[in-house]
Amino acid sequence: MLKAFLIFLFTIQTGTISITSPQNGETIRGQIEIQGVMGVPNFSSAELAFSFASNAGDTWFAIQTFSQPIQNSTIAVWDTTSITDGDYNLRLRVYLQDGTFIDSIVTDLKIRNQEPPTPTSTNVPLPEFRNETPTPRIIPPTEMILSFPSSTPLPPNPASITTDSIYKVFGQSALVVLILFAFISLILRLRKNER
């Protein structure tokens, strides 16, 4: 644990592993471009994953894995619509060739796909109001055509059982039982006669 923490501190100072966007506590929705840096010497592989912010254990869900370091700033695109709204953590873990790993974690991301976006700018110009009498516009009526979906009949069920098939199977089974009963009776009679 101490070793991983020291590696993480070293990484922050050198800036070789980091998630630059989104930031801690940011509210996100939809398709999110995850930007960061993962170029380190002795790179083996990397994994981008998320977890619940209230994650008591160490359960992470992979978004994408990397066999080569990504050189540009966008390392992945995360579709947040595939998970429920809530608070999440995002982790970039880079595995080194010696078996150790380095983490960069963004905490308390608020995914809000079900809420309408709030306006971010307060410098919205107000509309101009003129003191003029509006001229009425007459809109001609339009014809509305309602169409309802038609039902499609289901194909016949190949596993359905009819009354005739039940009687047929019952009759065949009764015939087999009678033949077996007659055969066993014949064998018992022949044995009795041999004595």
Read off the pLDDT of residues 125-140 as tens digits, 9 standing for 90 and up: 666 666 666 667 676 7
Cis, peptide link before residue 22, omega less than 30° from 0 = yes
Same domain flag for 14 and 103: yes
What's the pLDDT score for residue 3? 47
Same domain, 107 and 166: no
**Beta-carbon contacts of residue 40 (< 8 Å; ≥ 6 apart):** 11, 16, 17, 69, 94, 96, 102
For residue 40, give the nearest of 5, 12, 81 by alpha carbon: 12
Q: Are 102 and 93 in contact (CB under 8 A)?
A: yes
Of the three residues 84, 111, 138, the one that is the final residue of a domain is 111
Determine, yes or no, domain membership for 184. yes
For residue 7, the model assigns a pLDDT of 45
Q: Span 111-124, mean pLDDT?
A: 69
Q: What is the pTM of this model?
A: 0.51
Could you list the residue range(s) of the whole structural domain that residue 45 is in? 2-111
